[in-house]
Amino acid sequence: MVNNTYTKIKEIREYARDNKVPIMNQEGIDFLTTFIIKHQIKNVLEIGTAIGYSAIMMSLCSPTLKVTTIERDEERYLEAIKNIKKLNLEDRITLIFNDALKTRVDGKYDLIFIDAAKAQNIKFFELFERNLNDGGFIITDNMYFHGLVKKSEKEIKSRNVRGIVRKIKDYIAFLKENDNYNTTIYDIGDGIAVSEKKTKGGA
Ligand code: SAH
Ligand code: MG
């Protein structure tokens, strides 16, 4: 990364820290960007922009990569616009301000990155898989939900949090049972699921 770019990225990370915006951690973002380069991903559909950090990091993987990203929170969406302008990535990142569950997107993508409301993962998956190319990937962040998915229910005090953890476990079962995809969950960052769509009529 060029000096100037690095400083701007650092500022975005600091804003996230100061304003408690749950952007991907360093280990997670390293995994995601390495994955994009390794698999020569050309375009990404992201659910959950927040302030544009992961969209920007993905875009910086290749000078031709395009990202479409959806965010429902206005304050974060506006901050994402600012950050994307700051890095001159307006031509390559398309922001959609809406609830993803009410959004229909055109076109097909090599990678769909799900990083929004954790209890809705099955819905996001089922809604947006129509936008995935054959042989493409769906990557889901926070499969451990800050480590809580590995704990027993008794250890989790909040009923609300227990509910989310249960939904993530349902999502894990959903992915494992889904014969159209091969899913691996990596013990990286906050737990990252990679679901590879099987190619039709393949060997
Ligand atoms: N991908 C970002 C972090 C996203 S945080 C990064 O790593 O930089 C999750 C975001 O998803 C939040 O900003 C939240 O407002 C948004 N979100 C949650 N549910 C959503 C929905 N149904 N539609 C659109 N955005 C949603
Ligand atoms: Mg996340």
Substitution site in 19, 21, 32, 49 for ligand 1 pocket (most atoms within 8 Å of beta carbon): 49
Predicted local confidence at residue 150, as pLDDT: 86
Cβ–ligand 1 contact at 99 (below 6 Å): yes
Kindly give the distance from the C-alpha atom of residue 115 to the centroid of ligand 1, in angstroms, as a whole number. Answer: 6
Say yes or no to pLDDT of 96 above 70.
Answer: yes
Residues 73-94 as b or e (16 or more Cβ within 10 Å = b) = beebbebbbebbeebebeebbe
Report the pLDDT value the prediction gives residue 156, as an integer from 0 to 100. 87
3-state secondary structure of 186: strand
Mean pLDDT, rounded, of the chain = 95
Pick the more confident residue, 149 or 115.
Answer: 115
- The residue-averaged pLDDT of 119-137 equals 97
Q: For tokens 């990678």, what's the residue?
A: 111
Ion ligand 2 contact residues with beta carbon within 5 A: 115, 141-142
Residue nearest to atom 10 of ligand 1 (CA): 48
**pLDDT > 90? residue 120:** yes
Spatial CB neighbours of 46, under 8 Å, sequence gap ≥ 6 = 54, 55, 58, 67, 68, 69, 70, 112, 113, 115
Nearest atom in ligand 1 to the alpha carbon of residue 52 is: 8
Q: What percent of the chain stands above pLDDT 90? A: 88
Give the ligand at the shortest distance from the Cα of 140. 2
The pLDDT value recorded for residue 202 is 55
Residue 157: the pLDDT is: 87
Amino acid residing at 123: K
Domains, the chain, in order of start with CATH, read: 2-197 (3.40.50.150)
Is pLDDT of 203 > 60? no
The average pLDDT across 14-40 equals 98
Instruction: Tell me which H or E stretch contains 171.
Output: helix 159-177
